[in-house]
Structure 1
């Protein structure tokens, strides 16, 4: 414990005594004051919007008359100014502004505060009321007066002085998100039709008859990924009290494979038939596996939510996603069977169109979800990156350990790492009110936004090596063609006309004199050992 030295300056002791007395007065003031609001919770306050709240300050009659304080300073602060603030949050009050209540038990006064929403999230406004002197009343250095900041975590009786504020997304932001979702659904459906033109239905049936590869994919999808997301959520988000983000990550890890996995498998020359089969099977299995994982391991992540909150699996939405996958594929298969020339054209356009769709999703998705980037923190970024990237790695290792073909390894790794974030977002929106749903959806959006990173790198490397290999094969093919044409030739300059005629008459291939010369000019350094005269 600290102690006061006998040699300490008397002036310092006097100043400390004054500070202690001032703090005691403010503490007594805050204890006797009570605050009530016209609404106990400002909810659904939109970003860039504002709301007015009537605040009533009350003092017990005996305390107010005994204190005999002439002037007060009323101040409103936000626990998280980046989420919400109060406009003109400092107000000066005089004693005569307090009037005796109807029951003659309190002196009270009313004031209006304007709360501004800045960013999606939850926060609270804390109230401070302090007595001030004439110098502070005139606006000079009022911040140096003693005051008590009432924190809702300290005492239950002080909770009345805190105003909860929930900020939600603006209408324009939600409108752009709706446009983005509709655009993506249309583009993905077109891609699926094109993909159906390339799909080999016989290979799909053969895969279903011997479902070893799909079983490996399901193991990685519904055993490895949920456990991985659970560990990441517990390690990164739970210690920081980020329960919404922890739940968002876990729900994403329990989701089935995303439809984008089929497109990336196509671009990386993986087994497209296996990829489509795994996406279909995993989406069906998610109807059982998602609620099972959420029931057994999801409860710790609900600590930050309402006690009555219940996780609702969107079965109807999952079924609709199956329909949007199957019907376009069947249309593509039908086109391939009855209009093969259309299917051939679709296959030529498919890869460029898929690349366009990927760029559109990343670019337009980033623009319509700019609010997410303002909420982006270090833990959110790390968690959002770790899940898909570790999924690619574990999916690849699982396929390699089971000795699958390279095309199958690509399909399984991509299918494991790419989650159906749309289902995760729908589940969160169906289960929780705003802004909890959008806060939890931050992690699925981060996962979706940063998943293409390693895939783009892999696609660039793969396509570069593929182009180099094709060029080398073309060069070798041209060289072989020239050598085959020149194998019948000899050095014409050393033969007489009669010898040329004799060779021509006894050869299976008859070449005119000018063609001999032309071919000799094309192969001036042909070694003698390679010259064969067919007689």
Structure 2
């Protein structure tokens, strides 16, 4: 049925083509939904004409060309008009220049607003071909929920003034930009005929990456209020102190003899290092690109990538012990990855992380704060080494630290959950379906790839368990501190949402695995008890510590000999009688 296939082609093509109007030139001046400015309408009409001319006859199933139809002639005429209009407007979009003053807004506060001066410049030849009709100037937002402008200006050709020095016709207007929610977005100028004006503009909800060099995009960053940020600073400072003390206690708990013994057999630690600092960064980069960058959520992509580059978390040792894995290998991997993060995290951020540090305008330049990242990591690694030194030179202090280790960890968890929820209540607004998807995929795929890497290298089951758990569990505390202490707002606040979601989704597969593992252990124990109950009484007596099997055989032989002797006596008595 060719007509159905052609109709499906039309329906499949139109939405995608409507979005291409964003890339028509240096300024998206014409609304793609309400005017004949893009290739979408032209191709739609072309396919419509083809559908009318080559409509298959139902009786014969053959395409018959129809000529002389007045309706088709009218459609062809409309097509020619639309093509000429689209070409003229596309040329206008390519040649026009848009400037903003200030050129970017990077300090907007949630709920605040700012007035921006917008200048539209059109070259003289294109201005002469512009129809003398009323127009509407407005700003379209890529993410209206973050920032938007409800301002619009009535413009006619007489509103433009000619600049002799540049040969441009220019019109200036003021627009008010309103900040709504923490985030980053961009605003672009729209020029729409007054009769086609509509405040609802769905085409701006899907941003496209921009590579032009003109200031046609107003880059807008919205940050939280100063009061809210002060509370977050207090929370971060408190967490730094707590994690520093926790790392000292962790160093006191490390059995360096077991660590060095494990390092002497380097296959397991090498596989773990490869999974932790090669597989996980590349995996987090792929997830960030596919889930966040495609939606323009660069800050969330940065947060997920930083989390993927972080070392293994201390909780991996507990889960490895619970699942009967190689605990010494797990402890060794945690120690090595924590030290290696001092070099590997800056390396991966410099290689791939720069891609996520960008705005919506090509004029926005964001630099990676390598110095701050290095200082943050040093402040976390040094306490671990201090704890190792305490255990070596003051073992009695290390022994006392074991008594407060578990209560302190419980206190840290309660503090982070309670105070963190109050200080970072904004994060609940940032939890969206893409954020949940990214937070789920990173740890779950980490467990899977760590398991595959150890199985392919033919490691024993205990090593497979340790490597898989160590790969999937990231030190989200380090990721949050690096983001909060090193990166500017709003990247730091938005990016910190992802490590928290990763921490929330991490225990899921582990709890399931622990439940299955304990169920199998219970079944094995039950089957072993059943087998013992079915043993013969002699075996049970032997197992209980009774007479040995040799003694039982000797007793049986003696009894048989006594019975045989009695039989012989009876026979002898009968013979004598």
TM-score in terms of structure 2 length: 0.59
Which of these residues, 111, 121, 124, is aligned with residue 48 of structure 1? 111
Q: Does 1:312 align with 2:312?
A: no
Q: Which deviations, in whole Å up to 9, do the C-alpha atoms of 1:108-154 show, x marking residues without a partner? A: 4432111123344443222223454xxx5xxxx74399xx99x9879
Question: What residue in structure 2 maps to residue 124 of structure 1?
Answer: 186
**Mapping of residues 259-338 of structure 1, within 5 Å:** 259-261=314-316, 278-290=333-345, 298=352, 309=367, 312=370, 314-327=373-386, 337=396
Structure 1 residue runs without a partner (length 5+): 467-535
Which of these residues, 268, 272, 276, is aligned with residue 225 of structure 1? 276
**Mapping of residues 10-409 of structure 1, within 5 Å:** 34-59=97-122, 69=132, 71-86=134-149, 88-93=150-155, 97-99=159-161, 108-132=170-194, 136=195, 142-143=197-198, 159-188=214-243, 199=253, 204-212=255-263, 215=266, 218-233=269-284, 235-239=286-290, 241-242=293-294, 244=298, 248-261=303-316, 278-290=333-345, 298=352, 309=367, 312=370, 314-327=373-386, 337=396, 346=404, 350=406, 353-362=408-417, 364-365=419-420, 368-372=423-427, 374-376=429-431, 378-392=433-447, 402-403=459-460
Q: 1:187 to 1:260 in 2, by over 3 A?
A: farther
Distance 1:453 1:19 in 2: 57
Q: 1:393 to 1:335 in 2, by over 3 A?
A: farther
Q: 1:169 to 1:235 in 2, by over 3 A?
A: same
How far apart are residue 263 of structure 1 and its match?
6.7
Q: 1:18 to 1:327 in 2, by over 3 A?
A: same
Deviates more, 1:169-178 or 1:238-247: 238-247
Q: 1:186 to 1:332 in 2, by over 3 A?
A: farther
SS of residue matched to 2:413: helix
Distance 2:288 2:397 in 1: 54
SS of residue matched to 2:258: helix
Q: 1:320 to 1:298 in 2, by over 3 A?
A: same
Alpha carbons 2:183, 2:221 under 8 Å: kept: yes
Q: 1:226 to 1:366 in 2, by over 3 A?
A: farther
Q: 1:345 to 1:385 in 2, by over 3 A?
A: same
Q: Which deviations, in whole Å up to 9, do the C-alpha atoms of 1:66-97 show, x marking residues without a partner? A: 868364322221122233211x3222235665
Q: 1:457 to 1:331 in 2, by over 3 A?
A: farther
Q: Which deviations, in whole Å up to 9, do the C-alpha atoms of 1:441-482 show, x marking residues without a partner? A: 55434323432444566789999999xxxxxxxxxxxxxxxx
Q: Which deviations, in whole Å up to 9, do the C-alpha atoms of 1:305-339 show, x marking residues without a partner? A: 88885573733322211233354677799998279
Aligned residues: 446
Alpha carbons 1:76, 1:126 under 8 Å: kept: yes
Question: What residue in structure 1 maps to residue 39 of structure 2?
Answer: none
Alpha carbons 1:279, 1:415 under 8 Å: kept: yes
Deviates more, 1:248-257 or 1:110-119: 248-257
Distance 1:217 1:182 in 2: 36
Question: What residue in structure 2 maps to residue 418 of structure 1?
Answer: 473
Q: Which deviations, in whole Å up to 9, do the C-alpha atoms of 1:26-48 show, x marking residues without a partner? A: 55765675432212222233443
How far apart are residue 54 of structure 1 and its match?
0.8
How far apart are residue 239 of structure 1 and its match?
4.7
Q: Which deviations, in whole Å up to 9, do the C-alpha atoms of 1:366-416 show, x marking residues without a partner? A: 554455554445554344323323444566788896447x7x887665544
How far apart are residue 361 of structure 1 and its match?
2.9
How far apart are residue 155 of structure 1 and its match?
10
Alpha carbons 2:244, 2:379 under 8 Å: kept: no
How far apart are residue 165 of structure 1 and its match?
2.5
Question: What residue in structure 2 maps to residue 498 of structure 1?
Answer: none
Structure 2 residue runs without a partner (length 5+): 1-45, 54-66, 522-577
How far apart are residue 174 of structure 1 and its match?
3.2
Alpha carbons 1:35, 1:58 under 8 Å: kept: yes
Deviates more, 1:95-104 or 1:314-323: 95-104
Distance 1:94 1:282 in 2: 65
